[in-house]
Amino acid sequence: MGKVTISIIKADIGGIPGHSWVHPKTLEFASERLADAQKKGLIIDYYVFSCGDDMSLLMTHTKGENSPDIHGLAWDIFKEATENISKKLKLYGAGQDLLKDTFSGNVRGMGPQVAEMEIEERPSEPIIVIAADKTEPGAFNLPLFRMFADPFTTSGLVIDPEMHEGFKFEILDVYEGRVYLLDVPERMYDVFALIGTPGRYIVRRVYRKKDLLQASVISVERLNLIAGKYVGKDDPVGIIRAQHGLPAVGEILEAFAYPHLVAGWMRGSHTGPLMPCKMEKVIPEKKIAIGPKATRFDGPPRVVALGFVLHDGVLEGPVDLFDDPAFDYSRLIAEFVTDYIRRMGPMMPHRLPPEEMEYTTLPKVLASLKFIPQEEYEKDRWKYLRGEA
Ligand code: 13P
Ligand code: 13P
Ligand code: MG
Ligand code: MG
């Protein structure tokens, strides 16, 4: 067959309770709607899964990236599920990520997150789909660097001649709309000069240098930049291809073994460890995979990984890849870091720096505080202290 497009379109359209989880009814609704679309021939295959309060629609089709049909299908499902389920059940933040009213052909810039990749299926096409909750797209910067550029994570970079030349990183500056194309390992220090600021620079796509085969794609929508205020974090999704001249499945997963600190968590305003989590339940007959709940302090931030192999666009799987005792130790470290950093309460660096708080409700609190110009205060501070001025 010709080219296949893998699309993940994701939104938070209401949580139960608070921002912790997606209602299974929402997932079932989406799965039924996608089954209809499959029957009509619009998509080849699909799977619905969640992580925390975010629902992802994974679809395969032949319509290419940015297809109005596929984006429209996802948008309609989110809208209908918001009306029929979130609003009726009064789920928290019903329709949270649907920032615009009218659909005009593409969900980009409208709230949902999008990760899409059109590919030529290889003789075997293993893919890993990742989704995180309570964080932002830049949370994947470090693991992506590790899997595609760090030989201590991916020994294939050293051992496999197919990968030995390295990879090309496409990095997006989400504030200025600039794209940087940098080769690793040659430009490694430049890569870090950018991606060390994950709230601004995002590793969007990675290509194998020798033949420009696209190896990964991450969603880059920044809700706050679209809405101009805090409307939840931009919980990201991504697709990574594995094996045969690309990082092995285990090298990709290895990049998540260290639960690094990311921005998000409670009220999108705190730093915390990104914990690799297993799914709560996979229900193959309904094609839904129910993800973990975000609990302690609405978190900690978490990531799930589902493995599939594609055959003519059909999604064989999923395999819940963090459902393994090998990741218990990473989770333990994440729990330890959670407990440690939580004791800082509202203090930085647990609480995010002021620039990141710009879009939250903190500026309102700050604006309501009365102050005295320092010079006046110094002249007669007792007047102010006694409340006489
Ligand atoms: P509200 O309870 O006011 O919605 O805010 C808390 C929160 O969860 C932020 O999204
Ligand atoms: P979400 O971005 O996952 O909706 O979480 C918002 C929040 O405020 C959590 O405390
Ligand atoms: Mg939410
Ligand atoms: Mg979320």
pLDDT tens per residue, the chain (389 residues)? 799 999 999 999 999 999 999 999 999 999 999 999 999 999 999 999 999 999 999 999 999 999 999 999 999 999 999 999 999 999 999 998 898 888 888 898 889 999 999 999 999 999 999 999 999 999 999 999 999 999 999 999 999 999 999 999 999 999 888 999 999 999 999 999 999 999 999 999 999 999 999 999 999 988 778 877 877 779 999 999 999 999 999 999 999 999 999 999 999 999 999 999 999 999 999 999 999 999 999 999 999 999 999 999 999 999 999 999 999 999 999 999 999 999 999 999 999 999 888 888 999 999 999 999 999 999 999 999 999 98
For residues 224 and 125, the answer to whether their CB atoms sit within 8 Å is no
Instruction: Show which residues are catalytic.
Output: 12, 230, 233
For ligand 2, whether the C-beta of 268 sits within 6 Å is: yes
What are the residue ranges of helices labelled H in the chain?
24-39, 68-81, 141-149, 156-159, 188-195, 223-227, 249-254, 328-342, 354-357, 362-367, 374-379, 381-385
CA 372/CA 374 separation, integer angstroms = 6
Read off φ and ψ for residue 281, nearest 5 degrees: -165, 135
Q: Is 31 helix (H, G, I), strand (E, B) or coil?
A: helix
Cα(315) to centroid of ligand 4, in Å?
25
The alpha carbon of 334 is separated from its chain's Cα centroid by a whole number of angstroms, namely 18
Burial of 309 (0-12, 13-18, 19+ CB in 10 A): middle
Nearest-CA residue for atom 8 of ligand 1? 267
If you search the block for the tokens 């030529």, which residue do you land on?
A: 120
For ligand 1, whether the C-beta of 19 sits within 6 Å is: yes
Rg of the chain in Å (alpha carbons): 22
